[in-house]
Chain A
Amino acid sequence: ETGVTQTPRHLVMGMTNKKSLKCEQHLGHNAMYWYKQSAKKPLELMFVYSLEERVENNSVPSRFSPECPNSSHLFLHLHTLQPEDSALYLCASSLRTEPSYEQYFGPGTRLTVT
């Protein structure tokens, strides 16, 4: 398999549930990202990992917890979410975090919180 994959593609969860989103990249990249995409809003960067170390956490609520066990895998653990957290969650990777390197995105997980 090539590129960036995400599972599941769709997820419906209640506010008291705990679930995890998974991202895997097969590109040999060293940086991975989690984004939130809501309708008609700019992409919101949530977390950045470079060489498995978190380098950015953009004031994201603690109900979102990232994990990067190695440079190919990235998880987003979810618990006690709110309905306003319903959105498309995109994972991306890049060779490095330096400015000129473009990001490659996965297809996203469409999350609905009920």
Chain B
Amino acid sequence: GQNIDQPTEMTATEGAIVQINCTYQTSGFNGLFWYQQHAGEAPTFLSYNVLDGLEEKGRFSSFLSRSKGYSYLLLKELQMKDSASYLCAVRDSNYQLIWGAGTKLIIKP
């Protein structure tokens, strides 16, 4: 079967750095997405990785290793507004998006 694994919940301190991991087992690979979802709101697109390596976008970076079936989202200089759920999704060989259950990130002052 196809599976995406992410930690259920993480806690970090304002101003610090946090890394949210995502591992996947899918039938084929056509890219990996990260989305942010604040409570009661729509998921919003953060990043897309299809090649190995690190993609940096401001305070957020996303890393992919296809050989390891692994990605992480790195958030720097954490702000209170970063408290949200972070969803990892992989597009498989049939172009279906397989979603993880999301990681709830709690930022403390």
Contacts and interface: CB of A to CB of B under 8 A. Distances in A.
B96 A45 contact: yes
Chain B interface residue number, banded: 20 to 34
29 contacts: A40-B101, A42-B4, A42-B98, A42-B99, A42-B100, A42-B101, A42-B102, A43-B43, A43-B87, A43-B99, A45-B96, A45-B97, A56-B96, A90-B43, A98-B95, A99-B30, A99-B31, A99-B91, A99-B95, A100-B50, A102-B33, A103-B97, A104-B45, A105-B42, A105-B43, A105-B44, A106-B42, A107-B42, A108-B42
A99 B43 contact: no
A98 B95 CA distance: 7
Contacts of B102: 40, 42
A109 to B, nearest CB: 11
Q: Is the interface of A mostly helix, strand, loop or mixed?
A: loop
Chain A interface residue number, banded: 20 to 34
B31 A100 contact: yes
A97 B41 contact: no
A103 B100 CA distance: 16
A102 B44 CA distance: 9
A104 B35 CA distance: 10
B95 A97 contact: yes
Given A40-B101, A43-B99, A45-B96, A103 B8 contact: no
Contacts of B31: 99-100
Contacts of A4: 42
